[in-house]
Amino acid sequence: MQLSDTGESRVNGYLFVLERSLKTFLPIDVVRDAVREIESHLRERIGATDASPNERVALEQILSELGPPLRVAQAYSAERTIDEAVATGRFVATVRAVSQLAASTLGGFSSSRAGCSSVIWFRSPSSPSQS
């Protein structure tokens, strides 16, 4: 599918929101790489879609399968924070990881109620944090 100017604007708008969200907690080179990868995903999906009489519907379907940009950014944030928590075993990072998971997933919400240790076990069974 070849995008019209309107379709291109929609894609660029999605990437703009994603980039702005990621910039709040990731180094700029990591943000650029992440946005490039998400754009590559979108271009691949769009390229593989047959020309549609209703471009807007087809494009919204692709974007919805990818997920809203804020949710994607939240997933990057959660993975980074969990990384930090597991690597350092620091209490603050662990609590932050739990609260981010709690905000973004049902599993995380449940884990936050059950306590931090269940999330650490869940993410990294081999982590020394579990002991």
Min dist CB 6 to another protein, Å, is: 20
Under the criterion CB under 8 A, does residue 109 sit at the interface with another protein? yes
Return the residues of window 5-34 that contact another protein according to CB under 8 A.
Answer: 30, 34
Closest to another protein by CB, 57 or 106: 106
| Single-letter code of the amino acid located at 127 | S
* Alpha-carbon span 46 to 39, nearest angstrom: 10
Min dist CB 59 to another protein, Å, is: 14
Min dist CB 42 to another protein, Å, is: 9
Closest by Cα among 41, 94, 95, 99 to 69: 41
Beta strands in the chain (DSSP E): none
CB 72 within 8 A of CB 38: yes
* Alpha-carbon span 95 to 107, nearest angstrom: 15
- Positions touching another protein (CB under 8 A) are 30, 34, 36-41, 43-45, 47, 65-67, 71-72, 75-76, 78-80, 82-83, 105-107, 109-111, 122, 125-126
